[in-house]
Amino acid sequence: MPRAGLSPDAIVDLTLQLIDEGGPAAVTLLAVACRAGVAPPSLYKHVRNLAELNTLVSVRVMDELADRSREAVLGRSGAQALRAFMNAWRHYVVMHPGRYAAMIQTSRPELVEAGGRLVDIVLAVLRSYGLEGVDAIHATRCLRSAVHGFAVLETTGGFGLPVDLDDSYELLTQMIISGLPKSAQDHADV
């Protein structure tokens, strides 16, 4: 029995491969074990159960998305930053629909933490917009709702009509930006 050099991280890597190829439904301990060149029960030495694996995957994806978003926002502020953030988000969703779908789970503590990192980015952007405190929370929720809602609908096939999706997203971006409290629009150069 040669060792396979597994680890929770390595298992998540393999799981992401499966997700990219066959969507979240393709995630099976048997499938993961095959990838790892190992029998299914061996995975339990590294991961408590399937639920935990799903959580780990979700956290990984959130962090990946957070990285892309942070990167996109870097060096920008105000409306520019907001646009960049929203574009980065959708770009990720379109490029990795399976991962995005796998990210969505009912929140466990670890997910809340990873989600917090994502929220912090938005809060930073909104601060550059002049929003802070409770107002910033409300604005963040609106922004997340819009962006996430669009992403979910797009990936689940909720948008059936043959009308350009980029244009729709552009309108959504405009609506969010122009909908932020008037006092915050100083930096806006849409």
User: Which residues contact DNA (rule: CB under 7 A)?
Assistant: 1-6, 27-30, 33, 37-42, 44-46, 49-51
Binding string, residues 12-51; x marks residues near its own copies by CB under 8 A: ----------------------------------------
In the complex, the smallest distance separating the C-beta of residue 48 from DNA, rounded to whole angstroms, is: 7
50 three-class SS: helix
Q: Pick from 187, 179, 72: which is nearest to 128 by CA?
A: 187
4 near its own copies (CB under 8 A): no
Distance between CA atoms of residues 100 and 92, nearest Å: 8
What is the 8-class DSSP label of residue 183?
G
65 near its own copies (CB under 8 A): no
Distance between CA atoms of residues 92 and 28, nearest Å: 24
Cβ–Cβ under 8 Å, residues 147 and 86: yes
What residues make contact with its own copies under the rule CB under 8 A? 104-107, 112, 115-116, 134, 137-139, 141-142, 144-150, 152-153, 156-161, 163, 165, 167-168, 171-172, 174-176, 178-180
